[in-house]
Amino acid sequence: MAIADTDALLVVTDAFLKQGRELAKVLREVYRLLLEEAWRVAMRN
């Protein structure tokens, strides 16, 4: 039973880490787009 528990924990941990990496990518893109838009607004004025 301990081996199955360890395997399950590894699968869940891997999924959690992948989610964190993907979230970080999305956040970087959102911040990039916000900065780009702020730059456009600043250049219009």
Give the pLDDT confidence score for residue 1 in this predicted structure: 62
- CA end-to-end span of the chain: 66
Q: 1-45: per-residue pLDDT in tens?
A: 688 899 999 999 999 999 999 999 999 999 999 999 999 999 997
pLDDT of residue 4: 87
Q: Where are the beta strands (DSSP E) in the chain?
A: none
The residue whose two tokens read 């993907």 is: 22
- Residue 37: per-residue pLDDT: 97
Domain boundaries, the chain: 1-45
